[in-house]
């Protein structure tokens, strides 16, 4: 929407107090959403405290999904929340780490760009942080830039970032707001909300020269008026700047809840801005619809990263894509986490797959659990269970087909077996040197690339357009030497890079299977709650159909599954 009347760029800093994992990312995304709904151009930025230059080298099972931007940035999963909420595409300017900041300061020092001065943690590090925040604002031409800091106040690593905020605020007090996301515990013994930890977090902010301008009170239940008054006193703020942020049914309720608290009005007022429009209707309708949905489609996710901290964080974009697609056909997705290593130990367990509507095999790396995944893919192919493979999932589906349908018994990927007689999945040629030289960081085939779709294919029908663009993150590809052999046996490469070098989609024709599609790219990064991804939608439709047939034909098999972490809960960690 065109800006009416130019304003100076505004900045909203979102910082956590008390503890992590209370949903800072969703809160920052929701602030972006509600301000956008008032007619402002927003940008969301995430600053992470770690020394890693990007998230690409961090184990997703520990830190959550690695989200890939259009330009190939491998970033924190919160950028996924931002994109899903505001539909603004993130690029490398939307993501800062301590590693990037130091790397740039040291580069400048080596280039004599400090003109012989000594380079200091203060003020040169905060200055570089500010430079990056302002670069993000310019790149996005944002009227309001929302900057979320990872971690919580009081942490050592956060100091240079808070100092950057203080410097910006002291220069432009009316243009910079600090939003503290706090947590109000309710000890079971007392049964009442306590504000003391929030007061401590406010003190921590005071000690670095900042006072919050807003406090968002995360809690199981709404913040009481009493507690709001206490916190407003501690922060010398009007009580309407203390916002209740209780647990909600789905994360898509968070902007709706913020608006119940009139947050966009108060925020705009604090920034000296006026609302230009009000446009949250579709979103609110979706949030309402989600709550009413009672019919389920059961989706099994067969993977191998389930034994860690939070499976929901590891697969957040996949889960959300499944949800978006399911909601669009009036269903609630019930996700079952099916650990593939169990199928290696006991192949009889594969029978449990008969109880699902469809199976997703998400991305991954390395050999552990892979034979179990391949066994599950075979089961799905032979029994006509809808199967959707994402990146590694596509590669493993190709291997399964090569082994069991094309007579290449020991087919494999060279990622696992460098001596396989049939390397149906092999290095993208330019990747070999990266691995040999241990040049791992940011060197995969990353970001958005075009794909041409084959007329008449399942993919072409789903997308309803001949050319698409999707995001990638991989080093291996379908080995061109095997394409002809695989196609002769019925596998269709229905998506190919325009230079015809890389196979981007593998599928079985509709006549052979209800839905058997693998994508070398990650469609999950581009699904939106109000615009589900076309392939996820086709997959879900096929899964719903199968679920209905199954119900008619038999009792579902007993499922042996891990605890289902897909129960809706409010907010996720930042
Ligand atoms: N390990 C595979 C590769 O590097 C797949 C990567 C993925 O699933 N993102 O090509």
- The Cβ of residue 496 has, within 10 Å, a number of other Cβ atoms equal to 18
Q: Report the chain's terminal Cα–Cα distance, integer Å.
A: 29
Which pLDDT score, from 0 to 100, does residue 110 have? 97
Asked whether residue 284 carries a pLDDT value surpassing 80, the answer given is yes
Nearest CA to ligand 1 atom 3: 474
Task: List the structure tokens of 496.
Answer: 């190919």
Residues 27-63: tens digit of each pLDDT: 999 999 999 999 999 999 999 999 999 999 988 777 8
Instruction: Report d(CA 494, CA 451) in Å as an integer.
Output: 9
Atom of ligand 1 nearest to the CA of 477: 10
> Do residues 314 and 60 make contact, with C-beta atoms less than 8 angstroms apart?
yes
Which pLDDT score, from 0 to 100, does residue 4 have? 53
Return phi, psi of residue 526, to 5°.
Answer: -115, 5
Task: List the structure tokens of 289.
Answer: 């619809």
Q: What is the DSSP letter of 456?
A: T
Which pLDDT score, from 0 to 100, does residue 1 have? 45
Asked whether residue 410 carries a pLDDT value surpassing 70, the answer given is yes
Atom of ligand 1 nearest to the CA of 393: 8
Pocket lining for ligand 1, CB < 6 angstroms: 363-365, 391-392, 415, 473-476
The band of 415, judged by pLDDT with boundaries at 50, 70 and 90, is very high
Length of the chain: 574
Number of helical H runs and strand E runs in the chain: 20, 21
> Do residues 375 and 345 make contact, with C-beta atoms less than 8 angstroms apart?
no
How far does residue 521's CA lie from ligand 1's centre (Å)?
Answer: 9
The band of 278, judged by pLDDT with boundaries at 50, 70 and 90, is confident
Asked whether residue 113 carries a pLDDT value surpassing 60, the answer given is yes
- From-to residues of CATH 3.40.50.880 in the chain: 294-553
Please give, one letter per residue, the 3-state secondary structure of 287-340. Answer: HHHHHHCCCEEEEEEEECCCCCCCHHHHCHHHHHHHHHHHHHCCCEEEEEEEEH
Nearest CA to ligand 1 atom 5: 392
Distances (CA, A) of 49 to 52, 104, 161: 9, 15, 9
> Do residues 212 and 169 make contact, with C-beta atoms less than 8 angstroms apart?
no
| pLDDT-wise least confident of 282-291, 510-519, 548-557 | 548-557
Residues 346-380: tens digit of each pLDDT: 999 999 999 999 999 999 999 999 999 999 999 99
Q: Is 472 a catalytic site residue?
A: no
Which pLDDT score, from 0 to 100, does residue 501 have? 93
Residues 294-316: tens digit of each pLDDT: 899 999 999 988 766 678 888 99
Q: Which CATH architecture has domain 10-287?
A: 3-Layer(aba) Sandwich (3.40)
The band of 573, judged by pLDDT with boundaries at 50, 70 and 90, is very low
Nearest CA to ligand 1 atom 6: 474
Asked whether residue 427 carries a pLDDT value surpassing 50, the answer given is yes
Helix 78-86, helix 24-36: angle, nearest 10: 20
Which pLDDT score, from 0 to 100, does residue 565 have? 44
Task: List the structure tokens of 320.
Answer: 């959300």
Task: List the structure tokens of 141.
Answer: 């031409």
pTM here is 0.94
Asked whether residue 83 carries a pLDDT value surpassing 80, the answer given is yes
- From-to residues of CATH 3.40.50.300 in the chain: 10-287
The band of 104, judged by pLDDT with boundaries at 50, 70 and 90, is very high
Q: Is 391 a catalytic site residue?
A: yes
> Do residues 299 and 336 make contact, with C-beta atoms less than 8 angstroms apart?
yes
Atom of ligand 1 nearest to the CA of 522: 9
Q: What are residue 231's DSSP bridge partners?
A: none
The continuous run of DSSP H or E covering 150 comes out as strand 144-152
Which pLDDT score, from 0 to 100, does residue 312 have? 84
Instruction: Report d(CA 401, CA 393) in Å as an integer.
Output: 12
Q: Is 400 a catalytic site residue?
A: no
Nearest CA to ligand 1 atom 7: 363
**Catalytic-labelled residue, pool 259, 391, 513, 550:** 391
Residues 166-221: tens digit of each pLDDT: 999 999 999 999 999 999 999 999 888 999 999 999 999 999 999 999 999 999 99
Helix 78-86, helix 316-328: angle, nearest 10: 30
CATH code 3.40.50.880 for 294-553: yes
Report the percent of the chain where pLDDT is more than 90: 87
Q: Which spans in 418-555 are helix H?
A: 431-436, 458-463, 483-488, 534-553
> Do residues 399 and 374 make contact, with C-beta atoms less than 8 angstroms apart?
yes
Residues 127-141: tens digit of each pLDDT: 999 999 999 999 999
Atom of ligand 1 nearest to the CA of 364: 8
Task: List the structure tokens of 345.
Answer: 């130990």
Q: Whole-number mean pLDDT of the chain?
A: 92
Asked whether residue 12 carries a pLDDT value surpassing 90, the answer given is yes
Task: List the structure tokens of 539.
Answer: 């997959």
Nearest CA to ligand 1 atom 1: 365
Which pLDDT score, from 0 to 100, does residue 549 have? 83
Pocket-testing residue among 317, 391, 428, ligand 1, by greatest number of atoms within 8 A of Cβ: 391
Instruction: Report d(CA 133, CA 285) in Å as an integer.
Output: 34
């Amino acid at each position: 929407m065109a800006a009416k009347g130019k304003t100076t760029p505004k900045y909203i800093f979102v910082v956590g107090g008390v503890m992590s994992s209370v949903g800072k990312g969703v809160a920052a995304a929701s602030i972006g959403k509600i301000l956008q709904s008032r007619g402002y151009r927003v940008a969301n930025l995430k600053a992470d405290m770690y020394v890693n230059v990007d998230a690409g080298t961090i184990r997703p099972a520990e830190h959550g999904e690695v989200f890939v931007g259009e330009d190939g940035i491998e970033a924190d999963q919160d950028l996924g929340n931002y994109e899903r909420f505001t539909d603004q595409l993130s690029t490398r300017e939307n993501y800062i780490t301590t590693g990037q900041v130091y790397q740039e300061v040291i580069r400048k020092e080596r280039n004599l760009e400090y003109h012989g001065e000594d380079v200091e943690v203060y003020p040169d590090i905060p200055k570089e942080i500010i430079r990056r925040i302002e670069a993000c604002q310019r790149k996005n031409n944002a009227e309001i830039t929302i900057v979320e800091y990872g971690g919580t106040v009081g942490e050592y690593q956060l100091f240079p970032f808070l100092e950057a905020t203080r410097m910006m605020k002291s220069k432009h007090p009316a243009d910079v707001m600090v939003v503290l996301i706090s947590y109000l515990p309710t000890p079971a013994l007392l049964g009442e909300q306590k504000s003391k930890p929030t007061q401590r977090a406010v003190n921590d902010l005071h000690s670095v020269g900042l006072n919050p301008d807003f406090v968002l009170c995360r809690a199981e239940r709404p913040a009481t008026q009493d507690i709001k008054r206490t916190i407003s006193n501690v922060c010398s703020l009007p009580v309407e700047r203390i916002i209740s942020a209780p647990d909600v049914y789905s994360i898509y309720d968070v902007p709706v809840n913020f608006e119940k608290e009139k947050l966009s009005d108060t925020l705009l007022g604090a920034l000296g801005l006026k609302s230009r429009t009000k446009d949250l209707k579709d979103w609110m309708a979706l949030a309402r619809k989600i709550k009413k949905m009672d019919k389920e489609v059961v989706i099994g996710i067969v993977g191998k990263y389930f034994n860690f901290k939070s499976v929901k964080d590891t697969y957040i974009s996949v889960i959300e894509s499944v949800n978006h697609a399911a909601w669009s056909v009036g269903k609630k997705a019930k996700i079952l986490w099916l650990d593939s290593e169990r199928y290696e130990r006991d192949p009889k367990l594969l029978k449990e797959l008969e109880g699902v509507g469809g199976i997703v095999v998400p991305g991954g790396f390395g050999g552990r659990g892979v034979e179990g995944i391949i066994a599950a893919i075979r089961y799905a192919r032979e029994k006509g269970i809808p199967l959707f493979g994402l990146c590694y999932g596509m590669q493993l589906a190709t291997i399964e087909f090569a082994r069991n349908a094309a007579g290449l018994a020991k087919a494999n990927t060279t990622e696992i077996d460098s001596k396989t007689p049939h390397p149906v999945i092999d290095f993208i040629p330019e990747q070999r040197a990266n691995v040999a030289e241990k040049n791992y960081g940011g060197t995969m085939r990353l970001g958005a690339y075009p794909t041409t779709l084959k007329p008449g294919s399942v993919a072409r029908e789903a997308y309803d357009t001949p050319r698409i663009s999707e995001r990638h993150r991989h080093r291996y590809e379908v080995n061109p030497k095997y394409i002809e052999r695989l196609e002769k046996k019925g596998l269709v490469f229905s998506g190919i890079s325009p230079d015809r070098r890389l196979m981007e989609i593998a599928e079985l024709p509709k006549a052979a299977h209800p839905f058997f599609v693998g994508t070398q790219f990650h469609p999950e990064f581009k699904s939106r709650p109000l615009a589900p991804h076309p392939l996820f939608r086709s997959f879900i439709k096929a899964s719903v159909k199968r679920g209905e047939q199954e119900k008619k034909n038999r009792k579902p098999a007993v499922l042996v599954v891990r605890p289902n972490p897909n129960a809706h809960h409010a907010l996720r960690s930042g």
